[in-house]
Structure 1
Amino acid sequence: MELRQLEYFVAVAEEANFTRAAQRVHVAQPAVSAQVARLERELGQPLLDRARRQVRLTAAGAAVLPHAQAALAAVADARVAVEELAGLVRGCVVIGTVTAHNVDMPALLADFHAAHPGVEITLSTADSDRLVEGVRSGGFDLVIASVGADEVPDGLEVEVTTDEAIDAAVGLDDPWRDVESVPVTALAERSLIALPEGTGLRRRLGEAFASAGRTPRIAFEASTPQELADLAARGLGVAIVPQSVARHRADLHAVAITPELRGRLVLAWRAGGPVSPAARALIGMARERLRVTGDA
């Protein structure tokens, strides 16, 4: 019995199709069929029912499958252990981030690449809901996402990178240009400029309005806080943005919101399940380099 026989059998069982299984293991279909047939001869029982359009497990196949999967997992774990012992970090890592954030991602990735040149890096952006679900399902190794105060999404571990207040930002000709703070109920009377649904800031805004028994009137949406600020500076409404954006532009006036809303960005990775040496190295470096920043 050979490992490749078990690998091909598991692929066919999980794909329920010889063609897809061959594509998955990157060999020709006849090779997969031959190795599975050889395994069946060695075990003395048919493992797959090939009589139907969709390949199905026989009773013997169903009994063998978990043992084959466990054997392959054990081999993979052994390979990882040896690579870690030898200091060999290869493979690929997939990182996801919200569109705009205060993390110096290029510097982190450059340092990681210098330390581990054999690792392929993929970086993409999405809203926080998709990032959290993506890292939970294994689509991402590490993400930077927005979550609520003291929130740790199920199945994930997090490290806070930024934590700051959320302000209302208005243009210098706006009626609120001299106002220092407003309640959430006052925001209900204004046309708001906000990030799209699925983003952390939009969720915080929705939660605040729900607590006040009101509904926000969203006049404009944009994909980054900077774009929201640009629209507010042109007099198109009240932008809901991080304090660092609202208070560092000469063409805007920042208005505090009461009760205070806070935006928090976190590094997030899976709490359980297998983690490759490359992903473990990236997570460790990110946690070491990125520190919590507040309202200073």
Structure 2
Amino acid sequence: MDLRALECFAAVADEGSFSRAADRLGIAQPSVSQQVGKLERELLTPLFERSSRGVSLTPSGRSLLPSARRALNAVEDLRNAADERAGRLTGGLNLGVVDGLEVTAFPAAMGVVRQRHPFLELRLRDGTSGVLLKKLMDRSLDAVVIAEPSRALPHYLGTRLLLEEDLVVVRPASSGEHSTGPLRLTDVSAELTVSYPSESGIGALIADAARRTGAELHFPYTTNDASLHVALALAGLGAALTVGSAETYEAARGARVLPLDPPIRLRKLLVWISEPRPSRAVRELVAAFDAVA
């Protein structure tokens, strides 16, 4: 059984798409299709259901995936062991990330990893916090940077804090409101129309705060882009509930930016599986974050 075919199969399973799997592996989509087709012919069973909405695993595919991951991880471990004996750290590190990391320690930590381990391939995967955390738990990602969920993370996950900010309400200066805050969520819920999508990590924090305070929230205009939140509020689409970053305050000059009481606090974390002992690549990633903290 060809390891390249297993690698293509696992990538398609992770991404739910042949084209995204090809982008991840850095090869042409027809090559991915050919490798998966070869594996299906060898096993005499289809591994994916193909439709206009994408691909999903068949029962045979779901049965094969854990074994394929074990085989690929074993080969990766052998390569890493040989590289360690040679004094190098090579292979790949799959890291899932959310938006808004520009002003955190993330870029500097990536620079440290690159400087210390130039042969290690860093593969960044974008996504929302919930999706990325699931991919970490099924080990298709080695580590993630996500918005901290409202529920406590399992004890076997290690974390490092990258960012801590409170959410704020942005109103046009012409709104007639002269309060400097803080505001109660229940008092402004009717005017809040711009914020984060419910499936995002911050959206989940907002929903949890609404449940605790009894506020009824409905956001017809949603995006993960905080600068766009401000622009939509200034364009008259309603007040925005967004992260109180330096970029938000800069974009909202001339508008009213007001805190909430009690605050809705966003914490972005580096998260990895710490038990059993993580790979050397993950340990070096954590060390890089510690070095720039």
- TM > 0.5: yes
Once the two structures are superposed, residues 51-94 of structure 1 have per-residue CA deviations (whole angstroms, 9 ceiling, x without a partner) of xx56xxxxxxxxxxxxxx99998897676456445431000111
1:158 aligns with 2:123: no
What SS does the aligned partner of 1:188 have?
Answer: helix
| Partner in structure 2 of residue 294 of structure 1 | none
What SS does the aligned partner of 2:145 have?
Answer: strand
For residues 66-77 of structure 1, the aligned pairs below 5 Å read: none
For residues 12-51 of structure 1, the aligned pairs below 5 Å read: none
Aligned in 2, Cα 1:125/1:79: closer, same or farther, shift over 3 Å? closer
| Partner in structure 2 of residue 90 of structure 1 | 90
Q: Distance in 2 between matches of 1:71 and 1:134?
A: 18
Once the two structures are superposed, residues 208-251 of structure 1 have per-residue CA deviations (whole angstroms, 9 ceiling, x without a partner) of 11122332021311121121122122232121122224444413
What SS does the aligned partner of 2:187 have?
Answer: helix
Aligned in 2, Cα 1:105/1:76: closer, same or farther, shift over 3 Å? closer
Amino acid at match of 1:117: P
Amino acid at match of 1:93: L
Q: Which of 250, 254, 258 is the equivalent residue of 2:253?
A: 250
Aligned in 2, Cα 1:70/1:170: closer, same or farther, shift over 3 Å? closer
1:209 aligns with 2:210: yes
For residues 217-236 of structure 1, the aligned pairs below 5 Å read: 217-236=218-237
Aligned in 2, Cα 1:250/1:85: closer, same or farther, shift over 3 Å? same
What SS does the aligned partner of 1:259 have?
Answer: coil
Q: Count residues in correspondence.
A: 239
Residue 256 of structure 1, CA deviation: 1.4
| Partner in structure 2 of residue 285 of structure 1 | 288
Once the two structures are superposed, residues 137-176 of structure 1 have per-residue CA deviations (whole angstroms, 9 ceiling, x without a partner) of 2222222100146833564211111112211111211233
| Partner in structure 2 of residue 271 of structure 1 | 274
| Partner in structure 1 of residue 137 of structure 2 | 136
TM-score, length of structure 1 as denominator length: 0.67
Amino acid at match of 1:237: G
Q: Distance in 1 between matches of 2:134 and 2:71?
A: 29
Amino acid at match of 1:244: S
Once the two structures are superposed, residues 103-130 of structure 1 have per-residue CA deviations (whole angstroms, 9 ceiling, x without a partner) of 2544332332232121122112111111
TM-score, length of structure 2 as denominator length: 0.68
Amino acid at match of 1:187: V
What SS does the aligned partner of 2:288 have?
Answer: helix
Structure 2 residue runs without a partner (length 5+): 11-34, 46-68
Q: Distance in 2 between matches of 1:191 and 1:119?
A: 45
Residue 268 of structure 1, CA deviation: 0.7
Amino acid at match of 2:159: V
Identity %: 20
Aligned in 2, Cα 1:78/1:148: closer, same or farther, shift over 3 Å? closer
Larger radius of gyration: 1
Aligned in 2, Cα 1:130/1:114: closer, same or farther, shift over 3 Å? same
Q: Distance in 1 between matches of 2:279 and 2:186?
A: 48
RMSD: 3.6
Mapped contact 1:134–1:140 kept (Cα < 8 A) = yes
Q: Distance in 1 between matches of 2:70 and 2:165?
A: 46
